[in-house]
Amino acid sequence: MVKVIGFCPREEDAIRGLMHRFRTDGFKMDELVKIKKTDLPGYEGKVIPRRIGSRNKLKMAMLLATTNPFTVAHELAHVSDITVRRSDSMDNLTCSRPGSWHLAYKMFAEYYANRVACDYASEADIVTAFRSDLRGWLMAIAAKDWASYFYYYSLVLGILHGTGRHDSEPLRIFAPKSSFVPARIVKGMVSFRRQAPDFYDTY
């Protein structure tokens, strides 16, 4: 039984109901041991995996600052993804690969989590999440923070694809015309955009 800590009965029921839906739909929840309500400055939710004993065992805690269904579904998708992509998740946890590999791992994880969350949230919740992620992406462009740019791009793209907008290109539609994005960043973005649907479809 997953411990659910710090929520009112209504919130706990909603969380457990969503967990039940995820399990019924085949997502892997066995390594999740705790969900706790807590303040998370800069975040709405976070999954913290911890290696137990041997290299192949994990326990995960899920921290939530909100019980918004989109956020809860996004974090539950991360829980399942960490379990399913076991080898890659262990490499990411131990920081044993080059920085570019870890960035790519994070991008696919965020794309996947947002795309999954679209199936478990209302249109209003999806719109709220999209606006938040889009705001972060535009701030990253303005600051020329290219690591954050890729992170938020993957989130924005996950929602667009999760709502059936497969032909939408965020850079063309949403970025200010005066924005400058270096060619190497655009090349990486185009490569990710090409690979992401196959990653999801063959998951």
Q: What is the mean pLDDT of the chain?
A: 94
- ∠ at Cα 154 (46, 116), nearest 5°? 65
pLDDT recorded at residue 49 = 96
Is the pLDDT at 5 greater than 80? The verdict is yes
Q: What are the DSSP E strand ranges found in 19-118? A: 32-37, 45-51, 58-64
Look-up of token digits 């478990």: 120
Please write the tens of the pLDDT for every residue from 164-196: 999 888 878 887 777 788 999 989 999 999 999
Please write the tens of the pLDDT for every residue from 47-69: 999 988 766 789 999 999 999 99
Contact in structure between 72 and 163 (CB atoms under 8 Å)? no
CA 3 to centroid of chain Cα atoms: 22
Please write the tens of the pLDDT for every residue from 111-121: 999 999 999 99
Please write the tens of the pLDDT for every residue from 111-157: 999 999 999 999 999 999 999 999 999 999 999 999 999 999 999 99
- How far is residue 56's CA from residue 58's CA, in Å, rounded to a whole number? 7
Domains of the chain: 1-96 (3.30.160.230), 99-203 (no CATH)
pLDDT recorded at residue 4 = 97
pLDDT recorded at residue 176 = 74
Is the pLDDT at 2 greater than 80? The verdict is yes
Is the pLDDT at 70 greater than 90? The verdict is yes
pLDDT recorded at residue 55 = 66
What proportion of the chain, given as a percentage, has pLDDT over 70?
99
Contact in structure between 186 and 171 (CB atoms under 8 Å)? yes
Q: Which two tokens stand for residue 175?
A: 């970025």
pLDDT recorded at residue 54 = 67
